[in-house]
Chains A and B, each alone.
Chain A
């Protein structure tokens, strides 16, 4: 311990001896650059966040470039090759093949597309709805608007989310769009609650009161004063939620209510493979691993974004 302290002091002294004072000239552009640098410093202090970011970038790139990087792009669709059914992982098929003789690696990478598409769309619909309703209710706390919005939110929150999604997806025709609608319906109330909380506390801050006393309009107060202060919690939750939406999507398609064959989806691959366990273990294990990796990746990145947007200027540790 003491030796470590000694080393640290030596390092600090050396750093100070070499340090040249270089303060950037202050203007709009430099200021933005400095802020970005500081944000990256805060994000990258936790190594896991960086790992998460790299994972996420790889997943997104793989999904976009799927036709060019996968070994057998054809296998993503309705394709059968009875000569190569259920082949174990090897040189030709890195992660083995499934019961139709299709390459599992190819299908996993293609299924990223559906998963990402779904989570982005779900969040793109649920977040604005939840945010706007939450801000409105928070700003008008104590009025009838607040009561109506928040009680509706409570009703949605009191129904088990999975059950609701299953119900919607089974009433409607099972496909990707409908499972997205189902997930969206159960997702927005969480954002509404989250934003409601930040907005009510923000409303009592002096800068909101000040803007009001100065004569600023309601729109200005809601969107220019309150919204930016809710952003950090919204972004953090969004980054974490991408993983959860993918997991819900996988669950829905596991029970057959998601993406329909032959389009590959992770949940369905796991479900199909489970029938061939334990002989063709690769059919289940690799898609499951893919789900785990994606979710961990988004969660780690979400934590990093949380650190990055947290208050404080990077001092103290």
Chain B
């Protein structure tokens, strides 16, 4: 497809742990295990999963924090990890917004200095005056007062800090933005504001978002496509709407039925049969066969021994489960 902006091909990300198994082989945390994903220009793709599912690791691999153990990440057809250090041009095009706005900004710098950095690195502005105008524009874009320039991150609220983080990520005009749980540390009223702003900017600048969250109902409202991760593997991937009306993987059903909701209509949407049980196992010690079989209500014999592969039920809806084969 010509409009594919990013291709993640069989991405594997293993981290060694200081332990050995019985045979003396060293053990790995298989944070991401064989994930493939095509991301199209202009879409908002959602990655959902519980803690330990590897959703953040995918983001960090894409942005270049880790070198993949195996597999490739292609951006506009070019492999991102050819040399050890990624080209500045690539760093400019792919930006990330972290979950915790408190730690993502240097507490000893003013907002102005924070926003100046990407402009300086990527030589976006000719001189000081132009930079200052650009910073004003950025602050206006995220609907913050211009006088905030002189404040430090410690002096403003969490929501406002996240707005600054978004402004910083957008300062160098990237094409691809990774949002790693940008609102999970914030209140709903602020979350609503930030999400709406993000969607507005996305439309204006024709950006592509990789949106990571554990909040499925938030995902429902912003993503065009959603992928559910369980222990480093994609369990189900589908367009957002289909996902909630026709969840097929038992894990997806369990997730959706666990969400606390605020209205009767939503209650009706939940699949009733699946009661949530058990906990996500440690990624060092992944169960044999299908990694979900310990918690699955429909577990069969085959699940204990054989790992299912992802099956595309139609063009866009893929499920990795023996039930759907």
Do A and B touch (CB < 8 Å)? Answer: yes
Residues of A within 8 A of B (CB): 26-28, 31, 205-207, 209-211, 213-217, 220, 224-225, 228-229, 231, 311, 313
Closest 8 CB pairs of A and B: A228-B108, A206-B104, A215-B91, A26-B147, A31-B150, A206-B103, A207-B106, A206-B98
State whether A214 and B117 are in contact (beta carbons under 8 Å apart), knowing that A27-B150, A228-B108, A229-B108 are contacts in the complex. yes
B100 interfacial contact with A, CB 8 Å: yes
Contact of A229 among B63, B65, B91, B107 (CB under 8 A): B107
Extra contacts besides A31-B150, A210-B104, A228-B106 (16): CB < 8 Å: A26-B150, A27-B150, A31-B151, A206-B104, A207-B103, A207-B104, A213-B64, A213-B91, A213-B95, A214-B172, A215-B88, A215-B92, A225-B106, A228-B108, A228-B109, A231-B108
B157 CB within 8 Å of chain A? no
Closest to B180 in A: A206
Query: How far, in whole Å, are A213 and B121 apart by their CA atoms in the complex?
Result: 11
Name B's A-contacting residues (CB within 8 A): 63-65, 88, 91-92, 95-96, 98, 100, 103-109, 117-118, 121-122, 147, 150-151, 154-155, 168, 172
Chain A residues near B103 (CB-CB < 8 A): 205-207
Contact B105 A213 (CB under 8 A): no
Closest to B165 in A: A210
What's the minimum C-beta distance from A276 to chain B, rounded to whole angstroms? 54
Residue of A nearest to B90 (CB): A215
List residues of chain A with CB within 8 A of the CB of B65. 209, 213
> How far apart are the CA atoms of A217 and B122 in the complex, in Å?
11
B121 touches A210 (CB 8 A): no
Q: Within the assembled complex, what's the spacing in Å between the Cα atoms of A224 and B151?
A: 17
In the bound assembly, the distance between CA atoms of A215 and B63 in angstroms comes to: 11
Given the complex, which residues of B lie within 8 Å of A220, measured CB to CB? 117, 121
Q: Which residue of A lies closest to B154 (CB)?
A: A313
Q: Give the nearest-CB partner of B146 in chain A.
A: A26
When distances are taken between beta carbons in the complex, the residues of chain A under 8 Å from B147 are 26-27
Which residues of chain A have C-beta atoms less than 8 A from B117's C-beta?
211, 214, 216, 220
The smallest C-beta distance from B291 to any residue of chain A, in angstroms, reads 29
Q: Is the CB of B118 within 8 A of A214?
A: yes
Q: CA separation between A74 and B172, bound complex, in Å?
A: 68
Closest to A207 in B: B106
**Distance in Å: Cβ of A144 to nearest Cβ of chain B:** 16
A224 partner residues in chain B, CB cutoff 8 A: 106, 109
Q: Chain B contacts of A217 at CB under 8 A? A: 121
A216–B108 alpha-carbon span in the complex (Å): 17
Q: Using CB atoms, name the residue of chain B closest to A31.
A: B150
B102's closest neighbor in chain A, by CB?
A206
A26 near B151 with CB under 8 A, answer: yes
Write out the residue numbers on chain A whose beta carbons fall within 8 Å of the beta carbon of B168.
Answer: 210
Q: Please determine whether B121 and A214 come into contact, CB atoms closer than 8 angstroms.
A: yes
Q: Which residue of B lies closest to A27 (CB)?
A: B150
A170 CB to closest chain B CB (Å) equals: 44
Chain B neighbourhood of A231, CB < 8 A: 108
A207, A216, A311: the one contacting B105 at CB < 8 Å is A207
Query: From B103, which residue of chain A is reached at the shortest CB distance?
Result: A206
Q: Are B108 and A213 in contact (CB under 8 A)?
A: no
Chain A residues, Cβ within 8 Å of B88: 215
In the complex, what distance in Å separates the CA atom of A213 from the CA atom of B90?
A: 10
Tell me if A210 and B98 are in contact (CB < 8 A): yes
**B63, B96, B121, B150: which contacts A216 (Cβ < 8 A)?**
B121
Q: Closest A-chain residue to B106, C-beta based?
A: A207
Knowing A26-B147, A27-B147 are in contact, say whether A215-B122 is a contact too (CB < 8 A): yes
Which residues of chain A have C-beta atoms less than 8 A from B105's C-beta? 207
| 12 intermolecular pairs with C-beta atoms under 8 Å apart | A26-B150, A31-B150, A206-B104, A213-B91, A213-B95, A214-B91, A216-B117, A217-B121, A220-B117, A228-B108, A229-B106, A313-B154
Q: Are A206 and B100 in contact (CB under 8 A)?
A: yes
Which of B98, B109, B121 is within 8 Å of A215, CB to CB? B121
Q: How far, in whole Å, are A2 and B151 apart by their CA atoms in the complex?
A: 41
For residue A174, give the distance in angstroms from its CB to the closest CB of chain B: 43
Contact among A26, A211, A214 with B95 in the assembled complex (CB-CB below 8 Å):
A214
Residues of B within 8 A of A313 (CB): 154-155
Residue of B whose beta carbon sits closest to that of A225:
B106
Residue of B nearest to A213 (CB): B63
Contacts of A214 in B (CB 8 A): 91, 95, 117-118, 121, 172
Give A147 to B121 CA distance when docked, in angstroms: 31
| Chain B residues within 8 Å of A28, by CB | 150
Bound CA span A224–B106, Å: 9
Chain B residues near A213: list those with CB within 8 A.
63-65, 91, 95-96
Shortest distance between the CB of A139 and any CB in chain B (Å): 15
> Inside 8 A of A209's CB, which chain B residues have their CB?
65
Q: Which residues of B contact A210 (CB under 8 A)?
A: 96, 98, 104, 168
Chain B positions within 8 Å of A26 at CB level: 147, 150-151
In this complex, what residue of B is CB-closest to A230? B108
